[in-house]
Structure 1
Amino acid sequence: MHAMQYELPLPADYDMDIVRDRVARLGHRLDDWEGLGLKTYLMRERGTHGSPVDQYGPFYLWNTVEGMNSFLWDGAFQGLVGDFGRPRVHQWTGLAYEEGRAADSPPAVAVRHRAPVPEGAALGEFMAEAVDGTRRLAGRDGAVLAAAAVDTSRWELVRFSLWARGAPDTPGEVFQVLHTSAPGRKALPRGRQW
């Protein structure tokens, strides 16, 4: 599993209905994308769920590198680049994935929490704790799914979770879910990824 996200910061006076309309028009295009486990079309809106910014920031869980590369290089991503400019794309190697207690419910919000891997940490122990934390997060009431991944170039851990209703009491930035494409969600490997 590979995780990926790009974020498009938008001006404070940006009409966020433009983002909603774009997702309503184009979101279905990845509903059957080969190699994609899950894409959540995410938005943060100033003043909603405590967000200080307006932002579009889709989050992906990929089953295959080929599917991810096809998305980035074969045209689908180019539409976004043409409309908004080329964003920096963050990528993380998967550590864990778990279906949540509300796995069959449509997600309403997503929470992304990024944290540094502490210098001097025993890496195996730290990553094992991230796996356990993912399992605990998925076991909470209202959780649709939870995932953890790491960027070893920056030693950054990301936890990503989807929730069936309003923002849960868990650390991180809260995003509104506008649409979900999940052609390979059932094939995402469960549990620890090594």
Structure 2
Amino acid sequence: MHAMQYEITLPADYDMEIIRKRVATRGHLLDDFPGLGLKAYLVRERGAGSPVNQYAPFYLWADPEGMNSFLLGPGFDGVVRDFGRPEVQHWTGLTHAEGPARAGVPRTAVRRRRPVPEGTSLSSVVEEATRETEHLATLDGVVCASLALDPRRWELLHITLWEDGTPREVGECYEVLRVSQPHRAELSRGARR
């Protein structure tokens, strides 16, 4: 499993309805994309709990070949054409757990990034973060929760999708406009156990 996200920060006066229409008209194109476990089409709006307007899709890939095919194909070319080439963040997937609301439609995503402190045991930090992610996945309203690691920056990433707009965890909150999830069932198998 691999996690990937790019953030397109938009001007303060940008009409976010443009992004909503983009997702509504083009989002279905990834509904059967090979290797894609899950794509959450995420946005934040300035003044609605966010300091910026931002389109920040988040991906969980069941297969790295699918990720490569997307990044080098026409879908990502459209992003580059319309917004410029964004920095693509990526992480090695460690844990993915389905929640009690697994059959629900996620409305909110919470992302938390935290550094792995220098001089600590990496395995113990990851084990603790894995337990935390698995606990999050037991809470009412959770669709799924995932944990990933960026070994370049030594940073852990937690992402949780919630069925409602009132998540019970602290982090950067995003509105989920849509989810494509052709290979979601394969994510748990591809995660570290």
Q: Match of 2:34?
A: 34
The separation in 2 between residues aligned to 1:144 and 1:120, in whole angstroms, is 34
1:27 counterpart SS class: helix
Q: Match of 1:3?
A: 3
State the 1:173 CA deviation.
0.5
Residues 62 and 190 of structure 2 are in contact (CA less than 8 Å); yes or no, is this contact kept in structure 1?
Answer: no
Q: Match of 1:100?
A: 99
The separation in 2 between residues aligned to 1:78 and 1:42, in whole angstroms, is 19
Q: State the Cα deviation string for residues 11-67 of structure 1 (Å, max 9, x = none).
A: 00000000000000100000000000000000001122x111100000000011100
Residues 38 and 184 of structure 1 are in contact (CA less than 8 Å); yes or no, is this contact kept in structure 2?
Answer: yes
Give the ranges of 4+ consecutive aligned residues of structure 1 lying more than 6 Å apart after TM superposition. none
Q: State the Cα deviation string for residues 90-144 of structure 1 (Å, max 9, x = none).
A: 0000110000111111000001001111111101111111110110111111000
CA-based RMSD of the aligned residues comes to: 1.1
The alignment covers a number of residue pairs equal to: 193
1:81 equivalent in alignment to 2:65: no
Q: Match of 2:145?
A: 146
Structure 1 unaligned regions, length at least 5:
none
Partner amino acid, structure 1, of 2:28: H
Partner amino acid, structure 1, of 2:157: V
1:5 counterpart SS class: strand
Identical-pair percentage:
56
The separation in 1 between residues aligned to 2:20 and 2:98, in whole angstroms, is 27
State the 1:167 CA deviation.
2.9
Q: 1:192 to 1:180 in 2, by over 3 A?
A: closer
Q: 1:186 to 1:147 in 2, by over 3 A?
A: same
Q: 1:191 to 1:70 in 2, by over 3 A?
A: closer
Partner amino acid, structure 2, of 1:125: S
Q: Match of 1:187?
A: 186
Q: Match of 1:169?
A: 168
The separation in 1 between residues aligned to 2:166 and 2:58, in whole angstroms, is 17
| TM-score normalised per structure 1 | 0.97
Q: Match of 1:115?
A: 114
Q: Match of 1:71?
A: 70
Structure 2 unaligned regions, length at least 5:
none
